[in-house]
Structure 1
Amino acid sequence: MLLGLRSAEQLVLLPVFLWAWGTAAYGDWLRLLAAASFAALLDAGLSGYGASALHFARARGRQARHARLFSLVLTGAIACLALTLLVAAGVGALIAAGGAPAWLAPGTLALGEAGLAFALLAAAMPMPGLLAALAGPLRANGRHGAFLRGQVLVRLASMCGTAAVLGAGGGPAAAAAAMMLAHAALGALLLAATLRRHAPDVRWRPGWPEGREAARHLRRLPPFAMIAAAGVGTRHVPVVLLAMLGAGPAVLVTFAAARTLTGLLRQGVQLVAGSVAVETAQARAAQGSNASAALASQTLSRLWPLTGIGAGLLMGAGGLLLTVWTGGHAAPDPWLLAVLVLPVVLTVPFQIRSQGLAAANRARAIANAGIAHIGIGCIFALKLAGALPPAHLAAAVMAGFAAAEVLVYALSLPRKPPLAGAGGVAALAAVLFLAAWAAAYLAAGAASALIS
């Protein structure tokens, strides 16, 4: 549900941003948003570790330990928010004073507006993760759905509030304030109400760790911090890298629009692979590895051809869709579409295996691959950006990340469970991809002729 709402939010808000602000101001917003998103890492893994520790302590009936952990996580969350506010205010003041690095300095926005927008965005970034950590008791009680419903309301409030601000002529600072109020204030109020109803024994009392207790908990944070860094980096490092390489607002807007559109295909693959991964883990536990391998192979035989069709449709008609969707603000680049779409098709088997690792509580292996993907992707991207024409800067950068993604996941993820008939399924997916591409290309050409 949240995945679908997030996709809908992206589809709805991007053209509204462009309509309200234009390409130049929205390009500034994209750079500020990408930089502010790294504030989510200031919790140093507390969100992931806290959610896991609270869930297991309560699920095992260790009430005293759960109460102690909740107080410690609450203290950590307060400290994290205080640190985030200091960093957000400091960097925001630096931007407002004109002292930000060139890649972060606003090109169109007033310095004060840009600094305030950054501070508000950065202040809100850790909140979703910290609230999810404090919701650990709900998952153990079988009431996690209540928390998710609250998050749906938060997303809707953020989307509607931002759209209302944009429609009323509000600038980046007002839009950032609407997002912060939804994710921070409304999110916290809904969590408190949900815990009071479904876990009334939980007490909101901060606690301070003693002696070795602090060291024991701190040692467990790094793996969770790596998982968070892999997620944030995969999404926002390319934008930062493009900005550092001198990409203008038009390039950033085209990149953001193309990645949002093609991201629907990637999210669909991850959603299917994730749901099947749970069934695969259950089949392995109940019937052994042969049953889980058969289920994974069956999923591949259906998901890969469907992904090929979706990728072909995006390749053939993506340019027209981008033009219509963004009102002409995004300039279609077939090379950019190609390097965004093709990795999704090529990595379907790896998605099935990586989601299986997550279901088996081996997310650290995925995080290691994600960190390697970002590091190698940056190296490849810088090499390609210097070798290809500036007009294709976004395509060059994403080609580097695409090559790194395929390479890293092919080499690092386990080859079990074996996927029977993968070669034949790959050939079928390729044929369907080409057929869908040709059909969509012809249809888009005919539609363009009618429109013009």
Structure 2
Amino acid sequence: MAANAVGQATTLLIQLISVPLLLYYWGTAYYGEWLLLFTVPSYLSLSDVGLVSAVANELAVSSAQQAYRRSVVLLSSGLMAIGYLSLLTTTGCYTVLSTVPYQHWLGIQRITEEESARTLIALMAYVVLCLQQELLSGVYRAEEQYATGRLWITATRLAEFFALVLLVVSGGEAHQVALAFALVRGAGLLSMWVDCRRRFTWVRQLHPRYVEWPVIRNLLSPAMSFLVFALANAAVLQGSILLIGALLTPVHVVTYTALRTLNNAIRQLVGVVTFSIWPEFTLAIAQGFTHTAIKLHRRACQLTVWFTAGAIAGLELLGGSILHYWTNGAVEPEQPLFTLMLLATLLYTFWNTSATTLIAVNRHQSVALWFLMGSLGALGLGALLLPQWGLAGLATGFVVVDALLVWVVLRQSLRLLEEERMRGLLQSMVTDFGWIRQLKRTGRATSATKEIES
């Protein structure tokens, strides 16, 4: 959790500093064109079609069962498959861009055509290297060193940011920054590779001769389901904005976007818990420790739901003041819209946390389809209610769908956990806080042991 929290804090810090820095040295127009160019290759992050997460899950299962021969095959096949997919998509993307007037379509004038081409090539290489490094971090997760893998990626991002600052301050242009990103990410990937080979003996056996394409074919179903999750999220994020713009006014778009940003802050914080508990679920279920998996599921749901409930209560009380100072009085927490959006967030965090049990062992195909259908259904219901109810109609659609997903996901999670029952889960979430006292006692005992040893 600490490693994920550091990663989130690093992302926030980079965003807070880079925006005013680039605006100051590059100017609004040049910075805007850089953002437009950066957006194009960012879609290539989906080119792995979900294989990174699917292979990382299977690596964790194989290592938990000490099937290191299969781990070698999985990692060799995963790296090769993602490399081929990335090469195919980047080649296709660049071929299309080189034949269309994308600079004219995007309104790029300050960055020359030659500089744009160099920038896009470097950024595409950067995205491909990001995918490979993300897969390699799955090795640390499989070896129960998840935090180390996350810190490697965070350190690489910080190095990229420092390179950005140095180049921009010294007069660097877009293509130079893009090239620096690719070089730094490549160095980070190479360093992780050397560290993995030093730490884990089975990684040294990686070789193209161990690539087995049937292994990848067997992972296509869960991999595509990860892609479905991404598409469903994109439908919610972009579809809702397009719907409001079509049926209401740009002012409503601003109001909805500002309120959604506050809600998303809660979801990102909850993500620290779910991403941290994910590898532990994989190990527990792969090793057959059902009782441990049940306890993890209960504690994760309890922690995220109570945290979300507290954050919602705080935003209900202070949301108006936060919005007033943040938007300089331009946006107010419109009711009942704000309360409905907060309720949808509470329901979302509940089912999303429970779904981690299924995601952790690549059994999330059904949940992904339900999420996609639910997202489209929420937009359809919102389209019907928006003209009469305004923005509250769209929020109502998401509340209905998230409530349905709570029921769907919990049924599947409890089926996976076998011995767990709905009544036991809900009762534990509401009444069982003894683990907190046990955690404190464990912490005090650990501190005392360290003092004695020193």
Give the alignment's TM-score, normalised by structure 1.
0.68
Q: Is the 2:305–2:350 Cα contact (8 Å) retained in structure 1? A: no
- Residue in 2 aligned with 1:225? 224
State how far apart, in whole Å, the 1-side matches of 2:107 and 2:249 are.
11
**Structure 2 residue matching 1:43: 3-state secondary structure:** coil
Q: Is the 1:10–1:260 Cα contact (8 Å) retained in structure 2? A: no
State how far apart, in whole Å, the 2-side matches of 1:187 and 1:97 are.
32
- Residue in 2 aligned with 1:77? 82
State how far apart, in whole Å, the 1-side matches of 2:333 and 2:167 are.
34
**C-alpha deviation, 1:84, in angstroms:** 3.5
**Structure 1 residue matching 2:208: 3-state secondary structure:** coil
Picking from 30, 42, 47, the partner of 2:47 is 42
Match status 1:306 vs 2:310: yes
Q: Is the 1:258–1:337 Cα contact (8 Å) retained in structure 2? A: yes
Q: Is the 2:61–2:142 Cα contact (8 Å) retained in structure 1? A: yes
State how far apart, in whole Å, the 2-side matches of 1:23 and 1:53 are.
45
**C-alpha deviation, 1:248, in angstroms:** 12
**Structure 2 residue matching 1:263: 3-state secondary structure:** helix
State how far apart, in whole Å, the 1-side matches of 2:266 and 2:291 are.
32
Assess, with a 3 A threshold, how the Cα gap between structure 1 residues 422 and 163 changes in structure 2: closer, same or farther: farther
- Residue in 1 aligned with 2:323? 319
Structure 2 runs not aligned, ≥5 long: 415-421, 432-454
State how far apart, in whole Å, the 1-side matches of 2:213 and 2:377 are.
34
State how far apart, in whole Å, the 1-side matches of 2:255 and 2:172 are.
23
Structure 1 runs not aligned, ≥5 long: 426-452
Please say which of residues 42-51 and 148-157 is displaced more in the overlay.
Answer: 42-51
State how far apart, in whole Å, the 2-side matches of 1:396 and 1:171 are.
45
**C-alpha deviation, 1:319, in angstroms:** 1.9
- Residue in 1 aligned with 2:373? 372
Assess, with a 3 A threshold, how the Cα gap between structure 1 residues 86 and 379 changes in structure 2: closer, same or farther: farther
Assess, with a 3 A threshold, how the Cα gap between structure 1 residues 158 and 297 changes in structure 2: closer, same or farther: closer
- Residue in 2 aligned with 1:432? none
Cα RMSD, aligned residues only: 4.9
State how far apart, in whole Å, the 1-side matches of 2:19 and 2:369 are.
35
- Residue in 1 aligned with 2:157? 155
**C-alpha deviation, 1:340, in angstroms:** 5.7
Match status 1:353 vs 2:349: no
- Residue in 2 aligned with 1:131? 133
Q: Is the 2:119–2:175 Cα contact (8 Å) retained in structure 1? A: yes
State how far apart, in whole Å, the 1-side matches of 2:220 and 2:299 are.
34
State how far apart, in whole Å, the 1-side matches of 2:166 and 2:255 are.
24
Cα deviation, 1:192-242, whole Å, max 9, x if unaligned, reads 121221124524532485xxx534531421322221441365158634875
Residue 13 of structure 1 aligns with an amino acid whose one-letter code is: Q
Question: What fraction of aligned residue pairs are identical, expressed as a percent?
Answer: 21
- Residue in 2 aligned with 1:343? 344
Q: Is the 2:225–2:369 Cα contact (8 Å) retained in structure 1? A: yes
State how far apart, in whole Å, the 2-side matches of 1:178 and 1:161 are.
7
- Residue in 1 aligned with 2:213? 214
**Structure 1 residue matching 2:153: 3-state secondary structure:** helix
Q: How does 1:94-243 map to 2 (within 5 A)?
A: 97-98=102-103, 105-106=106-107, 110=111, 112=113, 117=119, 119-165=121-167, 167=169, 173-182=175-184, 184-201=185-202, 202-207=204-209, 214-215=213-214, 217-231=216-230, 233-234=232-233, 238-239=237-238, 242=241
Match status 1:89 vs 2:94: yes
**Structure 1 residue matching 2:271: 3-state secondary structure:** helix
- Residue in 2 aligned with 1:6? 8
Q: Is the 1:150–1:191 Cα contact (8 Å) retained in structure 2? A: yes
Number of residue pairs matched by the alignment: 406
